[in-house]
Amino acid sequence: MRHKRHETSDSPPPVLRLKKRLGQRILKDRETLHFIADSCDLTPETTVLEIGAGIGNLTEQLASRAKKVVAVELDEQYRIFHLRLMIHHQNIDFIYQNIMDMNPGEMPVLKEARDLVIAGNIPFYITTPLIMRIMEEGTAFRRMVLMVQKEVAMRLAASSGHRTTSAITLKVHYFSNATLLKVVPRHNFHPAPRVDSAIILFTPRKESIFDPETRRQFFKLLDAAFSQRRKIILNSLMSAMGGKISKDMVGMCLGEAGIDPCSRAERVPFEQFLALFKVMRKSGWH
């Protein structure tokens, strides 16, 4: 079934007052809007949580494909655009609230969804905390397609053990597989930001490795390992742990996990961090 594609303006209406402090920008490229919606792989049974509806140009694409769209937008200046959109699409609910003050996993309409997809063009300044919050709260989505800053997307989607790997890379890897789908040049936005953006796809892992408390301890280890990226992993761990465990003991744990104590944290694969965590827990670290 082909979906009718509605045209969007190449520039925002003159009544808009975009707020720089909120990172507000209008994605004006129609092909990119279609690409995001297509990447969501929506069906007539899908409920979509859209984060940052803005003028509703992506909302419209999602609503034409999905059963229901729950669009969250902080700024009520966009309400007039949303009211016009709802004339043609009765399957959209707009919520004017800060997504960081919400728990999507507890919203009845999302909990009851047979198929949940998350989509949005995310302000740069909330990207990492928002993604981690959604994942840590256990929101049961089938896939999540987000537009984020290109540099952040590359870090999130980095292969385990790659030089661009960071603690957030491995935390995201714990919950899901992240794939960079497309780079979006800055000139596709109004106003144009200083950096390019990218579309990234998250598909959740079927089972959690640890219970929530154990997971927090594992993430604590990741933060310690990456606390001083220019140092070898042995020294980074020692500095972050503040003498709570001896250097010899840390070195022994690294060796038992198959990690060279002189390597840097970004070069250590996710599976070896799991092995290190299990070894260190047996040694009394927490």
Q: Which pLDDT score is estimated for 21?
A: 55
pLDDT(128) > 50: yes
pLDDT(285) > 60: yes
Mean pLDDT of the residues in the chain: 89
* Rounded (10°) angle between helices 270-282 and 247-256: 130
pLDDT, one tens digit per residue, over 136-186 is 988 899 999 999 999 999 999 998 777 789 999 999 999 999 999 999 999
- Binning pLDDT at 50, 70 and 90, where does residue 122 land? confident
- Binning pLDDT at 50, 70 and 90, where does residue 9 land? very low
Q: Which pLDDT score is estimated for 207?
A: 83
**What would you report as the CA-atom Rg of the chain, rounded to the nearest whole angstrom?**
21
- Binning pLDDT at 50, 70 and 90, where does residue 1 land? very low
- Binning pLDDT at 50, 70 and 90, where does residue 254 land? very high
The whole-number average pLDDT for the span 204-209 is: 87
The whole-number average pLDDT for the span 23-47 is: 91
pLDDT(15) > 80: no
DSSP string, the chain: -PPPPPP--SS--TT----GGGT--EE--HHHHHHHHHHT---TTEEEEEE--TTSHHHHHHHTTSSEEEEE-S-GGGHHHHHHHHHH-TTEEEE-S-GGG--GGG-HHHHT-SEEEEEEE--GGGHHHHHHHHHHTT---SEEEEEEEHHHHHHHTPPTTSTT--HHHHHHHHHEEEEEEEEE-GGGEES--SS-EEEEEEEE-SS-SS-HHHHHHHHHHHHHHTTTTTS-HHHHHHHHHTTSS-HHHHHHHHHHTT--TTS-GGGS-HHHHHHHHHHHHHTT--
- Binning pLDDT at 50, 70 and 90, where does residue 6 land? very low
pLDDT(125) > 90: no
- Binning pLDDT at 50, 70 and 90, where does residue 277 land? very high
- Binning pLDDT at 50, 70 and 90, where does residue 16 land? low
pLDDT(20) > 70: no
Q: Which pLDDT score is estimated for 206?
A: 83
Residue with tokens 């302000």: 123
pLDDT(10) > 60: no
pLDDT, one tens digit per residue, over 60-72 is 999 999 999 999 9
- Binning pLDDT at 50, 70 and 90, where does residue 28 land? confident
Asked whether the bond before 191 is cis by omega within 30 degrees of 0, the reply is: yes
Map out the domains of the chain with their CATH numbers. Answer: 20-204 (3.40.50.150), 212-282 (1.10.8.100)
Amino acid at 206: K
